[in-house]
Amino acid sequence: MKKQRADHIAGLDFGSNSLRLSVARLDSKRGLDIIHREREALRLANDAFRLHEFRDQTIEALVSAATGFSQVMDSYRVSRYRAVGTEAFRRTANAAQAIDLIQGMSGLQLEILAASEEAELVLQAVHFSAPECPDPALIIDLGGGSLEVITPGTEGGTPGIESHALGLASSFERFLQRQDAPGIDTRRQLGELAVEIGRRLDSPLLDTIPAEGTVVYVGGQAAMLDHLAVGWRLWKDADSTATGIATEDFERLLEIVIGTGSEELVMLGIPWDRAPMLAGAAAFYLTLAERVGARLIRLPRTGLMQGVLFTVPLAGHSWPGKTER
C-alpha cells in the first residue's frame, strides 16, 4: 500500500560489509527524520579485497538488493535520492559493469565516492549531529573496507583527511575465519590484533593531534558499541553522543564485549555479521584514543548515511527519473 506522505528522500550506501537504505524527510525545524531503515549483509569485501572483481553471483545479489530497495522507495513515494558506493567499488575492476546492471534493472544511479568525498560527508554528518558541540580534535570512521581519519581544521580552513585501505571486513574477518570457534580466547586475540594495527598505523594526522582533545567515532560499529553500553548502563545516551565519555569508561566496555559471546550480542540487537568483529572494533577505537591522548570519546550514532541524506536536495537524483542538477 502506498504511503500517504510525499516529499520523502532516500540515501543508499553500498558499503564493503553491507548495503543500507534509509528513507527520511528533511524538516527545517527538526532536521533529519529517518522513518525507514533497511540493511543487506552482502560482504562485498570478500570479492573486492581477494579477487579485485565482483563475481557473477555477487553482481546478481547486488542487483536483487538494489531492486528491493527501489521497491521500498516506491512504497514511500520517495522524490529524490542519492546512492553511493565506497571502498569495495573503488577496488573492484568490474565496478562499472555492476553499476550499469544495477541501473538497468533497478533504476538506481550509483556513484562511486572518492575517499576524500566520503570523508567530507562524514564530517558534515558529525557537524549536523551536535552543532552546539565544539569541533572534535579527530573524527574516525572505521568501515568495512576503509578507515577515514579526519581533522575538522580551524574555522574556515581545509579539513585534514586521510583514507586508509583498512577496515573490519579486510582486517578482522580474515583473522576470524582462521579460528576454530569465536570464543573468548579468539576475541582476546582479535583485540590484540586490533591494538597492533592501531599502534602501527602510519598516520601523520594522528601523530600531530594535540593531546587532551575529543575523538569522535562514527559508523555502524561505533553506534552498536554505544547501544550496548547504554543498555548495560555503563553511561547515558546523552553522555556519549554529545558530552563525551572518558577512555576508562570505554575500556570497561571493551572488556565486557570481549567477555560476551556473539549469540548474546545478536540477542541484544547486534547484526549477526558484525557481532564476531565487535571486540576488534572496540579495541581499535580505544587504541587510537590512547595513542592521541584523548580526554573524551564521543559516539554520536551518525556517519556516512546521514551525510549522504543531507546532500540529497542538491546532489541527488529525482526518483524515478533522470538526474537533476
pTM: 0.83
Rounded to an integer, the average pLDDT of 76-93 is 94
Angle at 29 between CA 156 and CA 116, to 5 degrees: 35
For the record, the C-alpha cell of 12 comes out as 543508499
153 phi-psi bin (left φ>0, alpha ψ -120 to 50, beta other) = left
Which among 22-26, 43-47, 81-85, 165-169 has the top mean pLDDT?
81-85
Whether pLDDT at 322 is above 50 = no
Q: Cβ(313)–Cβ(30) under 8 Å?
A: no
Question: 188-223 pLDDT, tens per residue?
Answer: 999 999 999 999 999 999 998 888 999 999 988 999
Tell the residue number behind the cell numbers 564493503, with chain if given: 16
The better pLDDT of the pair 140, 2 is held by 140
Question: 219-250 pLDDT, tens per residue?
Answer: 889 999 999 999 999 999 888 988 899 999 99
pLDDT reported for residue 176? 63
Tell the residue number behind the cell numbers 546492471, with chain if given: 101
Q: Does this chain's domain 8-114+308-318 share its CATH topology with 131-299? A: yes
Question: Residue 273: which pLDDT band, with cuts at 50, 70 and 90?
Answer: confident
Match domain 8-114+308-318 to its CATH number in 3.40.190.10, 3.30.70.920, 3.30.420.40, 3.40.50.150: 3.30.420.40
Domain boundaries, given as residue ranges, for the chain: 8-114+308-318, 131-299
pLDDT reported for residue 4? 43
Q: Cβ(306)–Cβ(9) under 8 Å?
A: no
Q: How many CB atoms lie within 10 A of CB 126?
A: 24
What is the residue-averaged pLDDT of the chain?
Answer: 88
Whether pLDDT at 30 is above 70 = no
Rounded to an integer, the average pLDDT of 61-68 is 97
Q: Cβ(205)–Cβ(288) under 8 Å?
A: no
pLDDT reported for residue 156? 57
Question: Residue 2: which pLDDT band, with cuts at 50, 70 and 90?
Answer: very low
Whether pLDDT at 103 is above 80 = yes
Class of CATH domain 131-299: alpha beta
Look up residue 159 and give its amino acid. P
d(CA 300, CA 27): 20
